[in-house]
Amino acid sequence: MMTPSTNTGPIRTERHDDVLVIISNNPPVNALGAAVRQGLEAAIKDGVNDDSITAMVIRCDGRTFFAGADITEFGKEMVEPGLPTVVDMIEASSKPVVAAIHGTALGGGCEVTLGCHYRVAVPSAKIGTPEVKLGLLPGAGGTQRIPRIAGVKLALEMTAKGDPISAKKALDAGLIDKIVGEDSLEADAVAFAREIATKRPLPRASEKTAQADPDAVAAFKKENARRFRNFDAPAANIACVEKATDGSSFEEGIAFERQEFMKLMTGVQSAAQRHIFFAERQAAKIDDVPADTKLREIKRVGVIGAGTMGGGISMNFLSAGIPVTIVEMQQDALDRGTGVVRKNYEATAAKGRIRPEQVEQAMGALKRTLDFADLAECDLIIEAVYETMEVKKEIFTKLDAIAKPGAILASNTSYLDIDAIASCTKRPEDVVGMHFFSPANVMKLLEVVRGDKTADDVLATVMALAKKIKKVAVVAGVTYGFIGNRMLMPRQVEATKLLLEGASPEQIDKVHVAFGMPMGPFQMSDLAGVDIGWHRDPSRIENIRDALAAENRWGQKTKAGFYDYDEKRTPSNSPRVTEIIDKFRKKSGVTPRDISDEEIVVRTLYTMVNEGALILEEGKAQRASDVDVVWIYGYGWPVYRGGPMFWAQSEGLAKVVAGLEKYGFPVAKSLKDAAASGGRLK
């Protein structure tokens, strides 16, 4: 018989005869905030002190088990009891406690389950410790209990990489004791609790011994060396897991875990990663558009152009279950482009990430056509053709004549003026920029460019749609290059000037890679194509890039660019490039000099910060954190540095201003003012 309690707050209890069910209802994800922790502590005490209770079950209402700590509490004074205290108390209970898991048991939620004596889960549940993704480690005993229950190898995977595992994998590893019915979790958990109610001794993770596995640790470090490069948190997680196996007591392991946790929590890297966590969520908000704005219905999307971008853009919508009409001028271009889409899906299926029938489902929702008029059925039409204003204006003029009333007309332009494009139509309020990043089916960033006349509901619809297709969207104003590419320009300009003045491509790229970028400016040029934007006249050589392009040094695709490349696209220094640079130095009358790494940082990175400050001053980005989101998700800025604007703040704005002034750059007023007042870029 079930007897409900009269508990108030996010935790309540229900008696199922001799089993006490402790229930959390703290929407949306049952975060383990102070009130939840206090409620759990009180409920466990009640269960232990009630002689008529033989066992307890902890479960959650809503869509998920405890999905982690309440990170809004990070950096504030902890309200007792802390999570480690609650987890230890659960484990110390003299009566068995069963975790009943659905949804995701993540971070602190996972650690609550580890403190329980037994764990049952529905088949769809996932369990994990993703704290490393916020520059942290599971700080309530996770690094000590997982290796004691499931061994070193899985503990390293879960803590240092942070990816959740399935209920089946958890069951096989011993992290879960039983998989129960998807729709009968509570009843099955209560039945399980009765089965084990009298079993003694109670299985406590803290009383188990973790076996050392140095080979597994060495292999894990080697396998993930590139992924973990320059990050502090993975190394701390690995060290804690090793501590659990070195013969130390559980108490000593916990003390070590706490020490490492506090080092990370007070460090710059975790602050940067937590900044981006919140910045990503903030970026979805449009400051001057009401949250309840009625959205336009998007049932079918049209894409103009079946090239690399058009195909990738189409995949985003097809993968989200939204039908796509794709238009090309020529049949061979259409066949080639849609063939690449199929090939990409089949490669994903081959890796086991999607089922073969999902490939056919996606391709079945793709309508291929050479008839522009077929776009009349679409609710959103995205142009993804050549980056020239004349072509785009021609397309939007045609679109204006055939698109149905209320259809959103979007351009995937990387640089061009959305207002000029919109002026070709009689409906500029329906025009918006949707700048996808290449490869469009992989990169998470979407710059949503708001024209002067873009309607609020158009902007809100596109931002909501971005979430549906799993993009991180940022609103940008109309300015050449928007946010990301506008900030890229001073970097590229200064990098080229530094070449003429005495630096080499290798030195400049090395500074950027050491900083944490995936590649430097010249490596990036070679990957993208040195010929991009080239005027195509080999006799017209006005700069180093022209000289390279004229000799067919177009980058990786021709095995020669700023570097030479072998069959595996491995770069090496190019004597020919050195000759070309020397020739331009002589032609310009420049005597090469030694250039310091510090000068490279100021001229290629501080200048980006300065451009970001100008973008904010002009109102072309809503907030400084949006600029950071663009660079993290669009350009590979290292997340542990938090984006250019956060990095400038942690570097010291006064230092940034002094560096810019030292090398003669005009400094943005907002940057100067914030440096002088000790304030922040907003």
| Residues marked as catalytic | 111, 131
Partner residues linked to 260 by β-bridges: none
Element (H, E) at 251: helix 250-265
Element (H, E) at 467: helix 456-468
Strand 55-60 to strand 19-24: parallel, antiparallel, or no bridges (unpaired)?
parallel
**Closest to 544 (Cα-Cα) out of 585, 572, 574, 605:** 585
Residues 195, 199, 204: CA angle, nearest 5 degrees = 115
Main-chain dihedrals φ then ψ at residue 585, nearest 5 degrees: -65, -45
How far apart, in Å, are the Cα atoms of 524 and each of 272, 432, 452, 579?
25, 28, 33, 21
Main-chain dihedrals φ then ψ at residue 409, nearest 5 degrees: -110, 115
Amino acid of residue 619: G
Q: At what angle do helices 331-350 and 308-319 cross, to 10 degrees?
A: 50
Distance in angstroms (rounded) separating the CA atoms of residues 172 and 150? 9
Could you write out the DSSP letters of every residue in 5-24? ----SSEEEEEETTEEEEEE
Distance in angstroms (rounded) separating the CA atoms of residues 53 and 196? 13
User: Residue 642: left (phi > 0), alpha (psi -120 to 50), or beta?
Assistant: left
Q: How many CA atoms lie within 13 A of 124 on its CB side?
A: 10
SS (H, E, C) 607-656: HHHHHHHHHHHCCCECCHHHHHHHHHHHHCCCHHHCCHHHHHHHHCHHHH
Could you write out the DSSP letters of every residue in 31-87? -B-HHHHHHHHHHHHHHHH-TT--EEEEEESTT-S---B-GGGTTSPPPSSPHHHHH
Residue 185 corresponds to which tokens in the numbers above?
A: 């979790």
The answer to whether 93 and 44 are in contact (CB under 8 A) is yes
The answer to whether 512 and 485 are in contact (CB under 8 A) is no
Residue 11 corresponds to which tokens in the numbers above?
A: 């935790």
Helix (H, G, I), strand (E, B) or coil at 105: strand
Residue 181 corresponds to which tokens in the numbers above?
A: 């019915």
Distance in angstroms (rounded) separating the CA atoms of residues 28 and 40? 18
Distance in angstroms (rounded) separating the CA atoms of residues 682 and 674? 9
Distance in angstroms (rounded) separating the CA atoms of residues 171 and 25? 26
The answer to whether 476 and 446 are in contact (CB under 8 A) is no
Looking at residue 681, what DSSP letter applies? -
